Structure 1
Amino acid sequence: MTLAAWLALAGVCLLGAVSPGPSLAVVLRHTLNHSRAHGMAVGVAHALGVGGYALLSVTGLAALFAHYPLAQQLLGWGGAAYLAWLGIKALRSEGSIGPSGTGSVGQHWRQAARDGLMISLLNPKLMIFFVALFSQFVEADTPFWVGVVMVLTPTLIDGGWYCLVAVLLSHRSVLERLRARAQLIDRVTGVFLLLLALRVVTL
């Protein structure tokens, strides 16, 4: 893989990562409701899910799954159900922000990691995206190291972007403004997630 090819791959992955979506909403919610570290935990877990899809795509398994629309549809419905569940949780939230929320610290960490991982794993569009993207770079004699680079590139870009978002959102000057509007943010996030879930089901 040439430097130009890698830059093209990295550029597409970066554009995909920064596009607003449910992942950004989940990072926002955990950062505001708990801490910067919780938002980063969502980002790292989300990146692991992205890396899993990238690995499946490079090894050819995603291309095999693409031939079975029912499996793709079931995964899409599962993703829609999870988005709806997150949306309902956000709508029912009282907008409390800070580490003093209900539940143990361990529960908060597990919830953050789970939400980040599931929001990526239950997104079948990631599979389609990587199959389409990697088909431009993978050949029959692609070296092993190229495959490793292709998996690590979107994984690190995705995790790095959402960790940066968590850091920026938790900056004191930004966080204080957001804290004052915590309940409104939760309501908007909940509606956004429910609309996304509805869109997945109706497509």
Structure 2
Amino acid sequence: MEFGTWVIYLFACAALCFTPGPNSLLALSHGASYGFKRTIFTSAGGALGFAAVIAVCLAGLGALLAASATAFLVIKLVGAAYLIWLGIQSLRRPAFVLGADVAAKGLRRRSHFAQGFLAAATNPKGILFFVAFLPQFYDPARPAFLQFLILAATFASIEFFLELALAALAHRLRPWLAKASVGKWFKRVTGASFIGIGAGLATASGR
């Protein structure tokens, strides 16, 4: 990949990452509920999940998913169910508590990592987007593995630091969110958003 092509890819990735989605919403929710340090694992999981999606697409499985209605339906329903589950968990989460180690009573680090990974890896819309997006920057005449490293590392890095920024913002707002009415509405909005995204994904007819 030439440097000029990589710069274009960099800006395209930034535009895509700044589009709101399940992982950015998850980073906000975890940053507010569990603190910035714990959300680092959520962001790392999301970045690795997107890297895995890129690997799948470059390996040709993304094209298979695009061609197979059954495979697409299965992945779509699994991803939708997972997002709805995240929404229910958000609604059931205890109220914000300042001055206490809320994270110690919540999810373990590996669970944060797994949630971030699955939110990225189970979204078939993301896979199909990369199927159309990556070939614009992939040069079959150059080493495939090196190009994968460049493509995956670029996107994953932008996504990782964006999610960290969202988590830091949510963490700074915790004193405000700790107010009973505000915290309650924050949980409702994030929970309903996950459920809404999941329901929309499950009922979408197109690919």
Q: Does TM, scored on the shorter chain, surpass 0.5?
A: yes
Distance in 2, Cα, partners of 1:5 & 1:178: 43
- C-alpha RMSD of the superposition: 1.9
- Tell me which amino acid in the other structure corresponds to 1:189: T
Identity %: 25
* Cα distance, 1:8 vs structure 2: 1.4
* Cα distance, 1:120 vs structure 2: 0.8
Distance in 2, Cα, partners of 1:185 & 1:108: 22
- Please give the per-residue CA displacement for 1:77-107, whole angstroms capped at 9, x wherever unaligned: 01111111111122223323455448656x4
- Please give the per-residue CA displacement for 1:111-161, whole angstroms capped at 9, x wherever unaligned: 211211111111011211111111112233132422321121111111121
Look up the match of 1:155: 156
Alignment of 1:91-130 (within 5 A): 91-97=91-97, 100-101=101-102, 104=105, 107-130=107-130
Look up the match of 1:64: 64
* Cα distance, 1:175 vs structure 2: 3.0
Evaluate the alpha carbon distance shift between residue 3 and residue 179 of structure 1 in structure 2; reply closer, same or farther with a 3 A threshold. Answer: farther
The count of residues paired between Structure 1 and Structure 2 equals: 200
Distance in 1, Cα, partners of 2:64 & 2:15: 26
Distance in 1, Cα, partners of 2:142 & 2:134: 11
Distance in 1, Cα, partners of 2:23 & 2:113: 12
Query: Quick check: 1:54–1:154 contact (8 Å CA) kept in 2?
Result: no
- Tell me which amino acid in the other structure corresponds to 1:42: T
- Tell me which amino acid in the other structure corresponds to 2:176: R
Query: Quick check: 2:29–2:170 contact (8 Å CA) kept in 1?
Result: no
* Cα distance, 1:63 vs structure 2: 1.9
SS in 1 for 2:67: coil
Evaluate the alpha carbon distance shift between residue 192 and residue 8 of structure 1 in structure 2; reply closer, same or farther with a 3 A threshold. Answer: same
Distance in 1, Cα, partners of 2:130 & 2:103: 38
Evaluate the alpha carbon distance shift between residue 150 and residue 97 of structure 1 in structure 2; reply closer, same or farther with a 3 A threshold. Answer: same
Query: Quick check: 1:32–1:179 contact (8 Å CA) kept in 2?
Result: no
* Cα distance, 1:169 vs structure 2: 2.6
Evaluate the alpha carbon distance shift between residue 54 and residue 97 of structure 1 in structure 2; reply closer, same or farther with a 3 A threshold. Answer: farther
SS in 2 for 1:40: helix
Query: Quick check: 2:76–2:124 contact (8 Å CA) kept in 1?
Result: yes
The worse-fitting range, judged by mean Cα deviation, of 136-145 and 114-123 is: 136-145
Q: TM-score, normalised by structure 2?
A: 0.87
Distance in 2, Cα, partners of 1:178 & 1:102: 16
Gap runs ≥5 in structure 2: none
SS in 2 for 1:73: helix
Distance in 2, Cα, partners of 1:81 & 1:34: 23
Gap runs ≥5 in structure 1: none
